[in-house]
């Protein structure tokens, strides 16, 4: 398995509009759109930067994973997503190498991607997302 590129960097935020305003009006990065992913209890904003993007993540529920993350660690970088061409192969490869997966089968994430998260205990504290998209 080889990661093709950094697909996106996920940033946990309390107020998506306020943070998006900073990236748009101070950093000059155009907002590409927003999406609510109900089963993950999150609202996502996409800000493309070159061939990757920032993904702002705001919880839509007080018990959502992003709300819990912010309560525990505060706002900031929550995960790094690597693009893979075959997510099923990538998941099996990681498990064969002894890495613990939060998702042992892919699920759907924002932007229509198939995703799976690796447990951060095996990656020295970094929450790594594997991400497959139909378009490259």
Q: In sequence order, what are the residues at sequence separation of 6 or more whose Cβ sits closer than 8 angstroms to the Cβ of residue 34? A: 16, 43, 44, 45, 46
Go through the domains of the chain in sequence order and give each one's CATH number. Answer: 5-132 (3.10.180.10)
- Angstrom distances, CA of residue 9 to CA of 38, 46, 47, 76, 78: 20, 10, 10, 10, 8
| Per-residue pLDDT tens over the stretch 88-102 | 999 999 999 999 999
User: What's the average model confidence in pLDDT over 69-85?
Assistant: 97
pLDDT tens figures, 10-61: 999 999 999 999 999 999 999 999 999 999 999 999 999 999 999 999 999 9
User: pTM (2 decimals)?
Assistant: 0.92
Is the pLDDT at 136 greater than 50, yes or no?
Answer: no
- Write out the two tokens for 123: 């990656």
Look at residue 135 and tell me whether its pLDDT is greater than 70.
no
Residue from 86, 85, 94, 89 nearest 117 by CA: 94
Note the pLDDT tens digit of each residue in 109-128.
888 899 999 999 999 999 99
Q: Rounded CA gap, 135 and 34, in Å?
A: 18
């Amino acid at each position: 398995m080889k990661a093709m590129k950094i697909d996106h960097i996920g940033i946990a935020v309390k107020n998506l509009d306020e943070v998006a305003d900073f990236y748009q009006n101070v950093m000059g990065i155009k907002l590409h759109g927003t999406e609510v992913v109900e089963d993950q209890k999150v609202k996502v904003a996409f800000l493309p930067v070159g061939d990757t993007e920032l993904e702002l993540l705001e919880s839509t529920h007080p018990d959502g994973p992003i709300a819990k993350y912010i309560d525990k660690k505060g706002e900031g970088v929550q995960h790094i997503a690597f693009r893979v061409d075959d997510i099923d192969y990538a998941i099996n490869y990681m498990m064969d190498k002894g890495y613990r997966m939060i998702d042992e089968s892919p699920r759907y994430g924002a932007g229509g991607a198939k995703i799976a998260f690796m447990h951060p205990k095996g990656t020295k504290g970094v929450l790594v997302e594997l991400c497959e998209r139909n378009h490259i």
